[in-house]
Amino acid sequence: MYHQRPSWDTYFMEIAQLVKTRATCPRRQVGAVLVKDKRLIATGYNGAPSGLKHCPDDGPTKDWPNGCMKAGHCIRSLHAEQNALLQAAKIGIPCENSTMYVTCQPCNSCAKMLINAGVKKVIYEGDYPDDFSLELFRESKLEVFRYIKHKLVQVKETL
């Protein structure tokens, strides 16, 4: 029986989906995969820094009266993209000319880090309400695609 192999984009996005299952943030689970020359070089998911307590699964508790949130944003967790970049740096792998697959659109802080790390392409699946990150990507000439139903759609200027 013939097996249809997935495209490289589907393959890496499905790995990012698996990576997000390790996320410890109860609000949003995100996975990221950093790829260079069709080789996976690092992964990341959102959660507390290594060795620190994770956010409580059920929100605010007696020990965590405000949970992990401040002004609507998580203050405890690193983002998946940040963790992937840090993992690559920690083991000495350069990110220049790499591609980041991420299960949701990067925020503007992550966009700035991806640009400075030399990532050349970002492929994301889900939405995130941050038009400024897309503006940063456009200005930097970084290629950005939205992964929709096993296809890539180039993100065009919308602002």
- Alpha-carbon distances, residue 65 vs 23, 48, 57, 60, 108 (angstroms): 21, 17, 13, 5, 28
Q: How many whole angstroms separate alpha carbon 12 and alpha carbon 17?
A: 9
Q: How many whole angstroms separate alpha carbon 103 and alpha carbon 45?
A: 10
Helices and strands: H and E segment counts in the chain:
4, 8
- Say how many CA atoms lie within 13 Å of 23 toward its Cβ: 28
Query: Annotated catalytic sites, by residue?
Result: 81
The DSSP code sequence of 49-83 is PTTSPPPPTTS--SSSTTTTEETTEESSPBPHHHH
Contact 107, 128 (CB under 8 A): yes
